[in-house]
Structure 1
């Protein structure tokens, strides 16, 4: 049934304007957000973004779609941040293609050729994006270049130590990895600080929690190692075997375990709420 709205001539003018604004709002929103409703529509209007990829192939569909839309975002706003996202999306696509290219299609043999061509295209795209991002001063991109073996990027990144630009959990973790074999106490400081930078409902990098557990174990601070292992298991349930090993090796009394379990829950609550502050746990 179609409902028709009639406007009374007695309706106040400001109310009439408000109703008209509400009626036209969906049209305005659809014009802003639904310019391309499907990937196919996007590719029809922007063939250069899509044609080099293995279209109409069931392999790597998710990675391919993500890459296409990220390429479109980069085309619209060609910032270093968007290029970096495109680079990461291309690498995910490439990783999938390297596996898919080894699969022999059961029907159309040319599909394998298209996959290999798309794979070569991904290599070229990654090289191009790496070159375009070479001058970037974004610390995340600098760290990425360092992680790929760029020693100049390593010097650039370490020169930023203490700068507010590195006030991000992942960047503090990067510093911690640098110091882990040089200064254990500084490493612990950096790891705790990285946790304090998370906001409520952020996804916490499990490597931070696991490294805290390992370092405290190496320092023979079994209470702290026990707590951080429990926290690691909470955020990464597949880590349960390690928790069992810790329980068996620490030989804690029931009273000690109960007290440390309460500490564990308190820390998890502060992490979930984005209000973590360093908690020192000493063996009694």
Structure 2
């Protein structure tokens, strides 16, 4: 017997709140083609609510949200569908059905938004489908207000990092400057800064951003080689730690200002 996951999850959007149970009771088709066991609970719930909003208001923004949620659900349920069940074959079938639904919906949403000028969809079609036309349209919007967010600056950085490291540094710093106080920072910004500065042999900056990355929870980063290099150059690691702590606090408090200028 199928059952609804997280029935009381409330998600707000479009000026109102809706629960997973509400959506599944009123429009069962938005839930019945997804998995019906406990796997991928959060991702499934997000898809269900996003489906509701996309149907109610099929804007490009809502289509992107649903597309993004379906991609997250698809990755999760793909892994879950590979789990072998001896006595619960129906659960595996449910997961496979959910995975097939995700593929069909991703294809539908991708096709429906191929001509969109919504920034996140333009980036999606470049990163997923290799559309250079979409990237050209996105770059034309670089100075527009919709692009002045930490997320969009980081996404632009992932484009420029292949051929323009200085531009990439500008964008990564601006992404940190635009990050609102108290909002979790995308730690890929920190690791990208570490990698770029290391590549440029700017070991002091690489070390500082490595320390900040560690403070932000990045575990797979080994600073010992940088410490050896810097100590060999007579640098004070304590002073660099103090600078890293100060910068980390500025970012978290929404007070960070890019040192590069624009």
Q: Which TM-score applies when normalising by structure 1?
A: 0.76
Question: Aligned ranges for residues 257-276 of structure 1 at < 5 Å?
Answer: 257-276=237-256
The 8 Å contact of residues 233 and 243 in structure 1, kept in 2 or not, is answered as no
Deviation per residue, 1:200-220 (Å, 9 max, x gap): 012212122122222222323
Residue 155 of structure 2 is matched in structure 1 by: 174
Residue 40 of structure 2 is matched in structure 1 by: 60
Change (3 A) 1:182 1:118: closer
Counting matched residue pairs gives 245
**Any idea what SS the aligned residue of 1:59 has?**
coil
Give me the whole-angstrom Cα distance separating, in 1, the residues matched to 2:122 and 2:62.
15
The 8 Å contact of residues 180 and 254 in structure 2, kept in 1 or not, is answered as yes
Residue 16 of structure 1 is matched in structure 2 by: none
Residue 102 of structure 2 is matched in structure 1 by: 122
Higher helix share: 1
Q: CA deviation at 1:152?
A: 1.8
Give me the whole-angstrom Cα distance separating, in 2, the residues matched to 1:187 and 1:178.
8
Q: CA deviation at 1:276?
A: 0.8
Superposition CA RMSD, Å: 2.5
Match of 1:232 among 213, 222, 241: 213
Residue 5 of structure 2 is matched in structure 1 by: none
Q: CA deviation at 1:255?
A: 6.8
Deviation per residue, 1:133-167 (Å, 9 max, x gap): 22221111111111112222122122223333321
Q: Which TM-score applies when normalising by structure 2?
A: 0.82
Please tell me whether Structure 1 or Structure 2 has the larger radius of gyration of its CA atoms.
Answer: 1
Are residues 1:93 and 2:73 paired? yes
Change (3 A) 1:165 1:252: farther
Deviation per residue, 1:113-149 (Å, 9 max, x gap): 3332332222111111112222221111111111112
Q: CA deviation at 1:34?
A: 7.6
Give me the whole-angstrom Cα distance separating, in 2, the residues matched to 1:250 and 1:92.
41
Q: Structure 2: 5+ residue runs without aligned partners?
A: 1-14
